[in-house]
């Protein structure tokens, strides 16, 4: 199909598609004339993934790295997760104290040789922001966070598809990034549900 048809099918404007082509997110179509190229179903599927990454707040450069990982189905699953995390983690130059983050990571089963230091740095920064705000997470709540993270990761990694290397890569890379907003939204719904159960759903009446 031509680029106009690709735009119609995908719902993405032609100038945006051209931008993705220029940025190397979308592979070129097969050249059919000096100013025309032919696009196929894999371009439509790729556009859906690009939109999902961009909508999830992943920047263009990071999206390119994630897509590059998907395109290398021979890579090792453990490296792929690291590559996906590194791609969506902003590079930072500030030095951060890893002590508290390491302590939590060890509770997750972390060993010093097994993990990308970038994700540990992000955890350390997230903890520092709480600390800077003077906000203490009670120990039991932090334990609930750690347990939840471990259970989630176990369920996710237990379901890596085995039918093809490509499917496995896609699952591992996109599955580490895309469901984040689902998780946060579920937590907010759960907070409202549990607070309604604990504190009652309705405001005390003014007469009461």
Site for a copy of itself in 88-147 (CB under 8 A): 101, 104-105, 108-111, 113-116, 119-120, 122-123, 125-127, 129-130, 132-135, 137-138, 140-141, 143-147
Residue 97: Cβ within 10 Å count:
11
Strands 30-33 and 36-38: antiparallel
Residue 129 has which token pair?
A: 């922001």
Work out whether 164 is an interface residue with a copy of itself (CB under 8 A): no
Cross-strand pairs, 31: 37
Q: Which of 189, 205, 206, 208 binds a copy of itself (CB under 8 A)?
A: 189
Least CB distance to a copy of itself at residue 3 (A): 20
- Exposed (0-12), middle (13-18) or buried (19+): which is 63, by Cβ within 10 Å? buried
Q: Which of 81, 83, 87, 169 binds a copy of itself (CB under 8 A)?
A: 81
Least CB distance to a copy of itself at residue 35 (A): 30
Q: Which is nearer to a copy of itself, 36 or 55 (CB)?
A: 55
Q: Which of 158, 162, 206, 208 binds a copy of itself (CB under 8 A)?
A: 158
Q: Which is nearer to a copy of itself, 26 or 81 (CB)?
A: 81
For 112-131, b/e burial (b = at least 16 CB within 10 A) is eeebbeebbbbbbeebeeee
Say how far apart CA 54 and CA 56 lie, in whole Å.
5
Sole window of 19-27, 30-38, 61-69, 192-200 interacting with a copy of itself (rule: CB under 8 A): 192-200
Residues 6+ apart with CB under 8 A from 113: none
Say how far apart CA 98 and CA 105 lie, in whole Å.
10
Residue 160: Cβ within 10 Å count:
14
Q: Which is nearer to a copy of itself, 31 or 103 (CB)?
A: 103
Work out whether 49 is an interface residue with a copy of itself (CB under 8 A): yes
Residues 6+ apart with CB under 8 A from 167: 161
Q: Which is nearer to a copy of itself, 29 or 101 (CB)?
A: 101
Q: How many residues bind a copy of itself (CB under 8 A)?
A: 91
Q: Which of 14, 24, 154, 164 binds a copy of itself (CB under 8 A)?
A: 154
Least CB distance to a copy of itself at residue 52 (A): 3
Least CB distance to a copy of itself at residue 18 (A): 21
């Amino acid at each position: 199909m031509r680029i106009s048809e690709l735009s119609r099918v995908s719902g993405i404007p032609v100038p945006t598609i051209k931008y993705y082509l220029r940025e190397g997110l979308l592979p070129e179509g097969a050249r059919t004339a000096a100013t025309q190229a032919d696009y196929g179903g894999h371009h439509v599927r790729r556009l859906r993934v690009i939109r999902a990454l961009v909508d999830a707040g992943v920047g263009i450069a990071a999206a390119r790295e994630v897509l590059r990982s998907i395109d290398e189905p021979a890579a090792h699953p453990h490296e792929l997760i690291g590559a996906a995390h590194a791609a969506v983690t902003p590079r930072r130059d500030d030095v951060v104290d890893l002590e508290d983050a390491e302590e939590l990571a060890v509770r997750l089963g972390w060993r010093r040789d097994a993990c990308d230091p970038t994700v540990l740095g992000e955890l350390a920064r997230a903890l520092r922001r709480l600390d800077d705000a003077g906000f203490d997470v009670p120990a039991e709540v932090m334990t609930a966070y750690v347990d939840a993270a471990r259970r989630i990761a176990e369920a996710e990694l237990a379901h890596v598809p085995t039918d093809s290397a490509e499917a496995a890569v896609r699952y591992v890379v996109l599955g580490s990034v895309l469901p984040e907003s689902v998780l946060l939204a579920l937590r907010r719904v759960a907070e409202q549900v549990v607070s309604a159960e604990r504190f009652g759903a309705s405001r005390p009446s003014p007469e009461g």
